[in-house]
Chain A
Amino acid sequence: MSLSSRHLLGLKDVPKEDIQLILDTATTFREILERPIKKVPTLQGKTVVNLFYESSTRTRISFELAEKRLSADSVNFAVSGSSVSKGETLKDTVRNIEAMKVDMIVVRHACAGVPLMLTKLSNSNVINAGDGIHEHPTQGLLDMYSIREKLGKLEGLKVCIVGDVAHSRVALSNIYGLKTMGAKVSVCGPSTMIPKFLDELGVDVIHNIDEAIQENDVLNVLRIQLERKAREYFPSIREYSKYFGIDRERLEKNSKDILILHPGPINRGVEISSEVADGSSQIILQQVTNGVAVRMAVLYLLGTLN
């Protein structure tokens, strides 16, 4: 079995078989991560560049660890600020990296479409580690992995994505992936944070968080990106957490056993209370561990494709 594409740019149009294969492969790697020696020689001799145009701690470390656990040589290339202010164009940077004979590029960029651009500028396998407000496919995959691990399946589940959908790269990847795997996806958030035409994707839009809790098996609570422009889209943090925040009272009121995911980093007390974030029903830290396994699976499957 192998993947049908040599890049992972997003989860749009990724067939069910491919997602299944990645999740199954991740299960194997997840077991390796529990061993005393957490390293396999699978990608020995391969070079992976982590090209990060945007600051990121957990995604970069997660990828770096995944690469090291697979015995690949990994290089970090962090660029602060945009290519515009830096002087060198993206094209030149990528061509330079390519000239150093690398095999795979993991890219994070503030602009949508950059991973696709890279596939045209380079012969390496390209993995999107988040592009603008477009996609973050490995996050989508690890969310699905975590749900499957906990609930045993994806098909037929009802999953609601909560929060700032409009400025999230995680939301689209979740929507595409979960729908492909047969889950029913809805979104819940203030109407200013829901893209205008989202219903055309076959996604239900609701604005009542209690309803979201009652109707769904899983909530994937997005981070309110306080550092981005998102701050202009709701009146105050107080109002947001009052009407869309998830806390224990709210869960108890709806007396519902529900799985809560969060891609992190958490704004405690804003979109989710500390009590819920640290509580037993959450799998937020497991998500982080799963992230390494899923990224190992993606790197392995793409790196051994040729």
Chain B
Amino acid sequence: MKVVLKNVNVLNPHQNVYEKNLSILIEDGRFKNIGELSNAEMKDAKVFELDGKYIVPGFFDMHVHLREPGREDEETVVTGCNSAANGGFTGIACMPNTDPAIDSAEVVVLIKKQSANHLVDVYPVGAATVGRKGEVISPMAELKDAGVVGFSDDGIAIKTASILKRSLEYAKMFDLPIIEHCEDESLAGGAMNESINSTLLGLPPIPSVAEDLIVMRDILMAEYTNAKVHIAHISSKKSVEMVRDAKKKGIKVTAEVAPHHFTLTDDAVKTYDPNVKMNPPLRTKADIEEIIKGLKDGTIDCIASDHAPHSLEEKEMEFEYAPNGIIGLETQIGLAFTELYHKKVLSLEQMVEKFAINPRKILNLPIPEIKQGEVVNLTILDVDAVWTVDKKKFLSKSSNSPFDKRLLTGKSVGVINKGMMFIDGSFTKI
């Protein structure tokens, strides 16, 4: 089948390509021609008039929780992939805190199989230790052969410095990163950021130093082992500063931030709405300012949603009892473009780097190119579209988002990957 994307702008900083007002002919899932298309080329093609929309390499979210296996009532591999496609993503990395954890090749194979026929590429992250218990390192070689792209005990940090050291040393053989949820266990367990708000709201606090301690430990260990550590969902000012300094020293540390951590402060908790309960918790204006600075100067490499589906009954509980986390796949492009691109924090090129290029670099994945003959893997962006979030329209199986009814600017119009297209709410083979 032939598809024409008409009158688009093409942007791929990885190839140094930024061309305006051209058309793209796709045939059998590959780029057939890019430029001015003749009438003959467009004959029999499905033509999409995309006046001024941007064609960029398919966006990639490197921090997604699919609940399969274990909590398929909250999200399955397929519903998570649907949610990703609807949000503008052609690839995701899924975290290992499933039940059972992704600590054996069998679980990797299951997830790979469930996603095999989907438009969205799914790359599992393996558990760093067996059962994420922090006692024995997982069979990393076997996991790598089965297809994992990194290792993490996500949900918690790797328990001890000695196991962290071994994990880094072992993962280094495969040039894969250790992805860390940075939180000191002995300071964990609260319900919100420690600030004047936690005092006013009477909620047990989690101090930001709980994150900073593990970020510091992990940076030191990455330096000592000369291995790669990736800081997941960075949220505190001090942590951003430490990552910046570490990068200057050449330590192999990278970092991601979730959109809620640059959009909301812990003021949002005043409603006691469990949909603003996440870990790391929402922090303060000073933290957001440092995150913005870190996004600008490259300290923070990429944006990732930490998409964490939870059932309605779990999220309707008392704030202190409710589980942490919100879904984010279908709101994060809108939030990031509203908060970063339209507020002139990041250029469009930088947005594409944070969403498509850097996450793949961190996980050693090939970066999609927009050129003749290549397999098509792209996202179509309407950076100026003004829209209102409607949780009823989410394709995720869960709806735990604090952003319902929020007005955003910028969204994905559709995605193409693996010979499939998602546009206007439906998948088609092309």
Contact = CB atoms under 8 A, between A and B. Distances in A.
A112 interface: yes
A109 B202 contact: no
Contact of B320 (A111, A116, A201): A111
Contacts of B367: none
Contacts of B200: 12, 172, 201
A200 interface: yes
B321 A134 contact: no
Number of chain B interface residues as a range: 20 to 34
Contacts of B194: 196-197
Interface in B192-244: 194-196, 198-205, 207
B37 interface: no
Given A112-B272, A113-B272, A116-B272, A132 B199 contact: no
Given A112-B320, A201-B196, A89 B202 contact: no
Interface in A132-187: 132-135, 169, 172
Contacts of A197: 194-196, 198-199
A201 B317 contact: no
Contacts of B318: 83, 90, 109, 111, 113-114, 117
Interface string B53-82: 000000000000000000000000000000
A117 B272 CA distance: 8
Contact of B202 (A84, A172, A200): A172
Nearest to A91: B316
A279 B274 CA distance: 47
Interface residues of A, number: 28
Contacts of B202: 112-113, 131-135, 169, 172
Contacts of B317: 83-84, 89-90
Contacts of B199: 172, 195-198, 201
A82 interface: yes
Contacts of A117: 272, 318
Contacts of B196: 197, 200-201
A279 to B, nearest CB: 32
Contact of A84 (B195, B207, B321): B321
B31 interface: no
Given A172-B202, A201-B200, 15 more contacts: A91-B316, A109-B318, A110-B320, A111-B320, A111-B321, A113-B201, A113-B319, A113-B320, A116-B271, A169-B202, A172-B200, A195-B199, A196-B205, A197-B195, A200-B196
30 contacts: A83-B317, A83-B318, A83-B321, A84-B317, A84-B321, A89-B313, A89-B316, A89-B317, A90-B318, A109-B318, A110-B320, A111-B318, A111-B320, A111-B321, A112-B272, A114-B318, A117-B318, A133-B202, A133-B203, A134-B201, A134-B203, A169-B202, A172-B199, A172-B200, A195-B199, A196-B194, A197-B194, A198-B199, A201-B199, A201-B200
